Amino acid sequence: MSKRCFLIEASNQEATEGQIMTVVQSSASHPLYGDIVTIVGKNRVNDNPVIISAYSKDSCHLEAERPGIVVMPNSVEEVQKIVRLCSSTKTPIMPAGGRNGICGACLPRVTNAVMLDMINMNGIVNLDEDVMTITVEAGMRWAELIHRLDDKGYKLGFRGPYGGNAATVAGSVSINSMGYAASRFGPAPEGVVSLEVVLPNGEIVRTGSGWNPEAQIFTRYSSFADLTGIFLGDHGTLGVKTKVTFKIYPKAEFSTYIDLGYKNLKDATAAFLEIQKRGLTEELNCLLARESADTYFPGLLDSHPEINATIHCVIMETDKQLAERKVQIIRDIGLDLKGKDLGNFAAQIHWAEKFNEVQPMYNNGFWLNTCHLRPISRIPELMDRMRAIFKKYSLEKNGIKWIADALAVDRAYAAAWVTIFAPTKDKMELAEKAWNEMLDAAMETGGCPYWSGLLWEKRALEKVNDTFIQLYRTIKKSIDP
């Protein structure tokens, strides 16, 4: 007998109506305002400049075109109707989730676009214990999903980006997000089994085994080409994701942690790579400079003046002995490669404070990031270039702080973040000059952005092979003529 457990959201007034946008009255000036009102009602659509201003930014400092109107759909049927309306009138449409990214991916590039705020579509559709998957609506936030699964005795693989209190699942898989547990399970798209997508003509496609109406959604690869992969990382350009099905795993009851310190980045990188090759951790981070450790964990290195780079390991298992054995192996590797055991405080704090670590960083000032992927072995090369830029622009003398860290991913690469913080607006011009050179340095030393958006798209388009980008455009044109 099947042991499938279905979790359908309660049909109460709050779940039915969802969030609304009535704090200020709509201007009702957008050409599609009246048509959209007939689809969702007046409470979930607004084109007042105050509302539009609120939706014209994400968490980065970059600026794009403002949406012309914002609408909050509550169902896939409403999404279909809005998409068909936009298609028939040739009106640009932009889906958005939590809008807490730092790359400008969810911001329009053209005027008068319809922005779909997907956060009202935040229900759990189905927990299928037979095949270890969970299907959720696009606007589900990572933090809530983690807690809901934990109550049922399960965990996700990838647990969401570091802003997971606000970030939504569809937003993350659309921009190849990195974050918690990527060291073991890969980036956000790696955990996806199937998608439900509203295409530009308003039709619905269900990918993976979802193509068979008689089948459970249990595999991404089945009979045909991997259509799921076409929509992962598409930044919302190929359709509107309305449901995501993820792999789930038994809840890990046992955790162990270890922090390691190194006199130089070269030795730390060697240990970082060796630990990651063996797939020993749930999460593996390397702070690439003492300055980073002092920012994240003040006082951690006060009694270790010789340490200039640190590694922080989180191990999670269903078996206590296995968790303890893994930490022993990591300690042996770390010490053999010239490391020092620093205890486990920083790794524990990092994991316990998931989704709460990023926000305090904004207290340092305007955040200019260089988030990208690179082989672990090429991290020292990156930092040599970055330090030269810091020196060239005298960032420290100008009160511009910086952090540099890396999250191990898959077998032998990492998501690297070298971020500078302009403390005041009058320092932004100097900070931006340095930051633009930092972005160039990241790509010139073999880095590849995992997301695009305003942050990276210009540089990515300058580098990309013509055949590659023309294929992408051909796919786009065939789906959205």
Residue-wise pLDDT tens digits, 290-333:
999 998 899 999 999 999 999 999 999 999 999 999 999 999 99
Q: Please tell me whether residues 200 and 320 are part of one structural domain.
A: no
Residue 457 falls inside a structural domain:
no
| Rounded CA Rg of the chain | 23
User: How many domains does one find in the chain?
Assistant: 3
Please give the average per-residue pLDDT across 134-163, as a whole number: 95
Fill in the DSSP letter of residue 403: E
Handedness of CA 27, 28, 33, 39 (dihedral sign): positive
Q: What does each C-alpha distance from 224 to 207, 229, 241 come to in angstroms?
A: 10, 12, 20
Q: What is the pLDDT of residue 9?
A: 43
Q: Please tell me whether residues 84 and 192 are part of one structural domain.
A: yes
Please give the average per-residue pLDDT across 163-192, as a whole number: 93
Give the pLDDT band of residue 17 (cuts 50, 70, 90): low
Residue 472 falls inside a structural domain:
no
- The tens digit of pLDDT for each residue in 52-64 reads 988 888 877 878 8
Please give the average per-residue pLDDT across 180-195, as a whole number: 96
Q: Please tell me whether residues 176 and 91 are part of one structural domain.
A: yes
Q: Strand, coil or helix: what is 177?
A: coil
Residue of 464, 315, 441 lying closest to 372 (CA atoms):
441
- Domain C-terminal end among 318, 352, 386: 352
- The tens digit of pLDDT for each residue in 71-127 reads 999 999 999 999 999 999 999 999 998 787 777 777 888 899 999 999 999 999 999
Q: Please tell me whether residues 120 and 88 are part of one structural domain.
A: yes
For residue 290, the domain's CATH number is 3.30.70.3450
Angle at the Cα of 132 from the Cα atoms of 131 and 137, rounded to 5 degrees: 110
Give the helix/strand (H/E) hosting 441. Answer: helix 428-444
For residue 380, the domain's CATH number is 3.30.300.330
Please give the average per-residue pLDDT across 237-265, as a whole number: 97
Over 90: is that where the pLDDT of 402 sits? yes
Give the pLDDT band of residue 15 (cuts 50, 70, 90): very low
Over 80: is that where the pLDDT of 2 sits? no
Q: Please tell me whether residues 365 and 289 are part of one structural domain.
A: no
Q: Please tell me whether residues 9 and 43 are part of one structural domain.
A: yes
Q: Which amino acid is at 481?
A: P
Residue 297 falls inside a structural domain:
yes
Residue 94: phi, psi to the nearest 5?
-135, 110
Residue 475 falls inside a structural domain:
no
Share of the chain above pLDDT 90, in %: 82
Residue 402 falls inside a structural domain:
yes
**Torsion angle in degrees (nearest 10) through CA of 32, 38, 43, 46:** 0
Residue 189 falls inside a structural domain:
yes
Q: Please tell me whether residues 143 and 28 are part of one structural domain.
A: yes
Give the helix/strand (H/E) hosting 417. Answer: strand 413-422
Over 60: is that where the pLDDT of 68 sits? yes
Q: Please tell me whether residues 33 and 158 are part of one structural domain.
A: yes
- The tens digit of pLDDT for each residue in 349-381 reads 999 887 776 666 666 667 899 999 999 999 999
The tokens of 399 are what? 């009160």
pTM over 0.85: yes
Number of helices (H) and strands (E) in the chain: give both, helices first: 17, 18
- Domain C-terminal end among 251, 271, 294: 251
Residue 184 falls inside a structural domain:
yes
Q: List the single range of 104-118, 196-210, 245-259, 351-365 with lowest mean pLDDT.
A: 351-365
Mean pLDDT over the full length of the chain? 92
The tokens of 324 are what? 């303890």
Q: Please tell me whether residues 270 and 402 are part of one structural domain.
A: no
Q: Please tell me whether residues 23 and 160 are part of one structural domain.
A: yes
Fill in the DSSP letter of residue 138: T
Residue 203 falls inside a structural domain:
yes
Q: Please tell me whether residues 258 and 246 are part of one structural domain.
A: no
Q: What is the pLDDT of residue 292?
A: 93
For residue 113, the domain's CATH number is 3.30.465.10
Please give the average per-residue pLDDT across 402-421, as a whole number: 95
Q: Please tell me whether residues 62 and 73 are part of one structural domain.
A: yes
More confident residue, 1 or 193: 193
Over 80: is that where the pLDDT of 5 sits? no
Range of the domain at 311: 254-352
Q: What is the pLDDT of residue 13?
A: 35
Q: What is the pLDDT of residue 367?
A: 82
> For the chain, first and last CA: distance in Å?
46
- Domain C-terminal end among 207, 225, 251: 251
Q: Strand, coil or helix: what is 26?
A: coil
Please give the average per-residue pLDDT across 413-425, as a whole number: 93
